[in-house]
Chain A
């Protein structure tokens, strides 16, 4: 099955692996060569045509590393791209005109959306626009019952009539979601044949293929979103892939999926909704790499940018996944890295409510006007302003002059909005703002850990993003962690993650049965079918032998529970060994929930097969220490909480090398981030050049 489409590198000489993460403001490119040298490039994103930004980043890297785009791409044996194209289409409502074919009586499931609203108290806000207007949601007769049997034949005349209506209304993509199709797909399959014949279009999204899971709302929503983002996303990706191949890239470009694994354009073309969390999911690769480099299987990452913070948890080497995802108030069921996002970042605004209570967030000042210190018209104090007036951020130009921080503007915003009304000194008010933001971050980390029965103090906290390393050490103490890791490439965390990702396909299928009454043959067949799909996809991408890993999971719960727990059954047959399956389930249940129900019957809800194609991991070169203690670039007055104002050593990141170990307080200024090391903390540069902050005397007890 190997051929031109291979994703697997041939293993030639001075090759390059490239990760490109397109964000809202910046496009990050990280390249690592076979010798382990790592290079980072940051360029402005071009929202009107993201491909332009990608090519600009490539050209910038080419100029530095290879001379020309062609020379760079010819050296590149894998290029992984995290794209926000699909996400932006959804957020900006610029998708295709979609028609939905539903079972008669259920065409409104999509609009009813099970009544879900993020905050019921906020009843004045409308629901987001339904992606398919009602006149393009057409019901057809035919019924599959709860056991998967046909009780009423598909009304083919109605399907044909619907196809003709879709043609009349210039529908660009059709989603098909028929009732109970997760149990038996024949009606959807037949409807697809009829649509192909009578509609005239070709972009079909079939629910039994896209999301073969129980629940007509989530399944139709997913199928519709796939159709909505599909045509534009695929067109963009294919075009970019063609350009890259034409200009010298020998292998297909790979894309980051929401599940944290990569996939080729060809294979994601029928299911582009899998790219909706493409960017942030790449953090998985970064965690896996850091986990290996630190020899620690338990990490929590906190990536903080200007407006939001993404929190991710890796326990025993596994990053938690979820199948229920919400993006901008739309719901999908898709295997996805379980990212918890909160509105907390450098641009988060502080203020006082009408009754005198200080608040920080969740609103942010965005890139425009941005923090008051930017001098772009912002008048509200932000977290960045707080850091600036406390001396933790230096004043002046950043990012080659992209922004300039003016502490007098920050101070004025504080004086007008906070210090006067609250009767606080500037230092106390700014420190207070940072402490409240820290509490928001703490709660976000606690949520993702405690909710799963994990004790966050057993974890190493990874503080990343532009703003994360300013808060990491303190959050680490609040959590009771012993150390906090700041990756050297903190400012390009996700692009860095793409260098350490594998190709991955998740297959999930609803499968309803009681544990203990599983039919060995049926279960084996069901797993076998999914596994075969996975192996065949991977083979198509050039993976074979030891480069292919298959994992089988069973989702279980006590009857009546709403949530299930995945149990790894790769090593044994759960139908033949129900007791072992139950024991594994209950061990996990006990850990998550603190109790088990010894007499409670357990049911299976779904099967999952994870097929992974292992890409050779890029090994970062371990820079040789040049010896000698580092010299601070300057001493700066900083206000560090209880220590008050003091002269703090400020180091340039480039001056710090593996083996260096320094007592806090100190500040490190990297190209894209600033690291704050508290008075009792110890900073160590590990053998990979990453920063490890030790927190020797334990925790700070209250937030």
Chain B
């Protein structure tokens, strides 16, 4: 019988340790991807590889850490020693999710016994490959995407292996960032390892193991309690792509979510075979995307450990877009198809519990620009200022601009003034779109109109998924958001729409993006007329759209014409807009 007080104390203590590792990372890393965008996660695993806490981390890393730790256990069985630290990234050979996310896994020994691992997974600024900044939209094989790391013993009995270190630095376009960042990961896992060891010392190895098990069991019960509230059934939904990064084609992602009592099966049978381009997902990433969808659908307070997802069974047929086999490229997976996987799961779950349904978010379409800075160093510039609009949920409109769905918007959008100091860029505009957001009782986020001038010749990695008319992302009668658009106007040349996926070298240019918008929730004809009038007043919805999409008649003075609105909405009841 476990003492409930000690159990509660231990769970909080583990989460506290994971967060502590995150503080170290944020404050010691050097690239903005870590310290501004928080594109990393810190987690602790038991000696058998089960993740016991991932309190600090981006959603799309949820639950995926166990794959990495189990790969270490497998690759170095019997050769894991105190003072070691491992590095890995490969999604096919080493429990990685995609190549840019490197994992440092540091074993913790209690006496002679392998007790736990303290780990950090973090997105590196550059890992070589066919395009600067880790996203090679032209890749057709994983070798085009950067250096592949099997499980490496980077630190051997407290000694950093200098040969490996040089190998890593030599394979990055930004070794000055990589050096500081990997050291930050080593420092963060060191802090975590010391704290975890104290648990073993305070509680005893054997006894604390029982409690760790108790924490995983509790998490299991937590999700089961939520799932049990939903009606049993099989809920199907589809999402997909309209190209393989090279040519148009239909690439469906199909899911059937089966709720039986308190357990869930998520079955991707029917999903398209893996594609030529880099929008394939590793199994670890698919697992994480499903976990993200589930955790964000149910309750933000669900425990962040592997026990939470014990009741979830995932069927992802091999050789498909959601469980690719080598040598398929898959670097884009944490973005696409992560977005499609999250949304397709949301759609299916939303049928079981419409009140909790989440409208889909605008997809991304901004490129990555890289080149030489004024000081001669390589720079890699993500146009985060062109992020999309979010989807609506019951009770709120979509966020008009928000970080990507796979971070649940947790990725911070940079200040344009800071970008102008860091990069040869002038940001001209970052303003909400009119009539972008998907109409609904709760409106989808509008997305932004983004304009920037890049002053130097540079390379562009285009991955403009958001210009596609993705499947409708409205729910419960809400409409989909408006798709995006992208245009580049190089100096002295005609403006043109770049290929959806491509890597191009271009002279100084003006980049213009209409960021995709989020979907609406619920029937737009049931939206509060005053909220529609406020949107009109604020320039987010036009007078015409207020009438056609919402059935709200707004006068020249900006007031709701209640009588006309009533008639208009009444008429629409018999003939709703298509």
B522 part of interface (Cβ distance < 8 Å): no
CB nearest to B5 among chain A residues: A432
* One of A115, A127, A146, A218 near B387 (C-beta < 8 A): A115
CB nearest to B535 among chain A residues: A134
Contacts A115-B399, A120-B408, A357-B11; A179 near B417 (Cβ below 8 A): yes
Report B-chain residues with C-beta under 8 Å of the C-beta of A122: 300
**CB neighbors of B among A287-303 (8 A):** none
Contacts A115-B409, A133-B538; A217 near B415 (Cβ below 8 A): yes
Mask, B281-319, CB within 8 Å of A = 1, is 000000000000001100011000000000000000000
B50 part of interface (Cβ distance < 8 Å): no
Q: Bound state CA distance, A348 and B427, in angstroms? A: 47
Report B-chain residues with C-beta under 8 Å of the C-beta of A105: 427-431, 451
Report A-chain residues with C-beta under 8 Å of the C-beta of B36: 562
Report A-chain residues with C-beta under 8 Å of the C-beta of B226: 354
**CB neighbors of A among B379-403 (8 A):** 387, 390, 393-397, 399-403
B393–A216 contact, CB under 8 A?
no
One of A38-46, A407-415, A594-602 contacting the partner: A594-602
B409–A112 contact, CB under 8 A?
no
Q: Bound state CA distance, A121 and B408, in angstroms? A: 7
A560–B417 contact, CB under 8 A?
no
CB nearest to A181 among chain B residues: B417
CB nearest to A180 among chain B residues: B417
Min CB distance B343 to A, Å, is 13
B202–A701 contact, CB under 8 A?
yes
* Residue of A109, A112, A439 ringed by the most chain B CB atoms within 10 A: A112
Mask, B171-202, CB within 8 Å of A = 1, is 00000110110010001000000000010011
Min CB distance B26 to A, Å, is 7
Report B-chain residues with C-beta under 8 Å of the C-beta of A133: 534, 537-538
Q: Bound state CA distance, A649 and B401, in angstroms? A: 61
Q: Bound state CA distance, A684 and B405, in angstroms? A: 57
A354–B32 contact, CB under 8 A?
no
Report B-chain residues with C-beta under 8 Å of the C-beta of A135: 537-539
A436–B9 contact, CB under 8 A?
yes
A355–B180 contact, CB under 8 A?
no
Report B-chain residues with C-beta under 8 Å of the C-beta of A215: 415, 417-418
**CB neighbors of B among A202-239 (8 A):** 214-218
Report A-chain residues with C-beta under 8 Å of the C-beta of B24: 593
Min CB distance B569 to A, Å, is 25
One of B12-20, B159-167, B243-251 contacting the partner: B12-20
One of A443-451, A528-536, A615-623, A630-638 contacting the partner: A443-451
B5–A593 contact, CB under 8 A?
no
* One of A216, A436, A446 near B415 (C-beta < 8 A): A216
Min CB distance B247 to A, Å, is 34
CB nearest to B385 among chain A residues: A112
A126 part of interface (Cβ distance < 8 Å): yes
A595–B187 contact, CB under 8 A?
yes
CB nearest to A120 among chain B residues: B410
* One of A117, A359, A595 near B410 (C-beta < 8 A): A117
* One of A139, A358, A422, A561 near B35 (C-beta < 8 A): A561
Q: Bound state CA distance, A594 and B188, in angstroms? A: 10
* One of A104, A214, A702 near B417 (C-beta < 8 A): A214
Report A-chain residues with C-beta under 8 Å of the C-beta of B296: 121, 123
Min CB distance A196 to B, Å, is 26
- Is the interface on chain A under 10, 10 to 19, 20 to 34, or 35 or more residues? 35 or more
* Residue of B390, B417, B427 ringed by the most chain A CB atoms within 10 A: B417
A109–B430 contact, CB under 8 A?
yes
A56 part of interface (Cβ distance < 8 Å): no
Min CB distance A699 to B, Å, is 11
A436–B5 contact, CB under 8 A?
yes
Mask, B533-567, CB within 8 Å of A = 1, is 01001111000000000000000000000000000
Q: Bound state CA distance, A306 and B534, in angstroms? A: 40
A124 part of interface (Cβ distance < 8 Å): yes
Min CB distance B121 to A, Å, is 17
B221–A355 contact, CB under 8 A?
yes
CB nearest to A563 among chain B residues: B27
B5–A597 contact, CB under 8 A?
no
* Residue of A214, A446, A561, A703 ringed by the most chain B CB atoms within 10 A: A561
B327 part of interface (Cβ distance < 8 Å): no
* One of A108, A109, A115 near B402 (C-beta < 8 A): A115
Q: Bound state CA distance, A359 and B432, in angstroms? A: 42
Min CB distance B208 to A, Å, is 10
The secondary-structure label for the interface of chain B is: helix
Mask, A34-52, CB within 8 Å of B = 1, is 0000000000000000000
Q: Bound state CA distance, A216 and B421, in angstroms? A: 13
Contacts A115-B412, A121-B295, A121-B408; A447 near B23 (Cβ below 8 A): yes
Min CB distance B40 to A, Å, is 13
A451–B23 contact, CB under 8 A?
yes
Min CB distance A385 to B, Å, is 16
B70 part of interface (Cβ distance < 8 Å): no
* One of A357, A560, A703 near B218 (C-beta < 8 A): A357
B225 part of interface (Cβ distance < 8 Å): yes
A512–B421 contact, CB under 8 A?
yes
Report A-chain residues with C-beta under 8 Å of the C-beta of B219: 355
B416 part of interface (Cβ distance < 8 Å): yes
Report A-chain residues with C-beta under 8 Å of the C-beta of B29: 561
A123–B7 contact, CB under 8 A?
no
A146–B421 contact, CB under 8 A?
yes
**CB neighbors of A among B16-58 (8 A):** 16, 19-20, 23-24, 26-32, 35-36
* One of B396, B417, B448 near A125 (C-beta < 8 A): B396
**CB neighbors of A among B396-446 (8 A):** 396-397, 399-403, 407-418, 420-421, 426-432
B222 part of interface (Cβ distance < 8 Å): yes
Min CB distance B309 to A, Å, is 14
CB nearest to A125 among chain B residues: B396
* One of B177, B183, B396, B421 near A214 (C-beta < 8 A): B421
Contacts A114-B414, A214-B415, A560-B32; A106 near B407 (Cβ below 8 A): no
Report A-chain residues with C-beta under 8 Å of the C-beta of B410: 117, 120
A600–B180 contact, CB under 8 A?
yes
B4–A561 contact, CB under 8 A?
no
Q: Bound state CA distance, A179 and B407, in angstroms? A: 28
**CB neighbors of B among A138-162 (8 A):** 139, 145-146
A124–B393 contact, CB under 8 A?
yes
Q: Bound state CA distance, A592 and B184, in angstroms? A: 13
B409–A117 contact, CB under 8 A?
yes
* One of B9, B300, B393 near A703 (C-beta < 8 A): B9
A106–B221 contact, CB under 8 A?
no
Q: Bound state CA distance, A447 and B429, in angstroms? A: 38
**CB neighbors of B among A543-562 (8 A):** 558-562
A474 part of interface (Cβ distance < 8 Å): no
Min CB distance B459 to A, Å, is 20
A119 part of interface (Cβ distance < 8 Å): yes
* Residue of A356, A450, A512 ringed by the most chain B CB atoms within 10 A: A356
A121–B59 contact, CB under 8 A?
yes
Mask, A57-100, CB within 8 Å of B = 1, is 00000000000000000000000000000000000000000000
Min CB distance B361 to A, Å, is 10
* One of A123, A124, A179, A701 near B416 (C-beta < 8 A): A179
**Sample (26) of A-B pairs whose CB atoms are under 8 Å apart:** A108-B431, A108-B432, A112-B400, A112-B401, A115-B411, A119-B300, A120-B408, A134-B432, A135-B538, A179-B417, A215-B418, A216-B416, A355-B222, A355-B225, A356-B4, A357-B218, A358-B5, A443-B12, A512-B421, A559-B30, A594-B28, A595-B28, A600-B180, A701-B201, A702-B9, A703-B13
Kindly list the 5 A-B residue pairs having the minimum CB-CB distance in the complex, ordered from nearest: A120-B410, A432-B5, A105-B429, A134-B538, A355-B221
**18 additional A-B residue pairs with CB within 8 Å, beyond A115-B401, A216-B417, A357-B11:** A106-B416, A106-B431, A108-B401, A108-B448, A114-B415, A115-B413, A120-B407, A135-B539, A215-B417, A215-B418, A353-B301, A357-B8, A357-B222, A432-B8, A436-B8, A561-B29, A562-B26, A597-B30
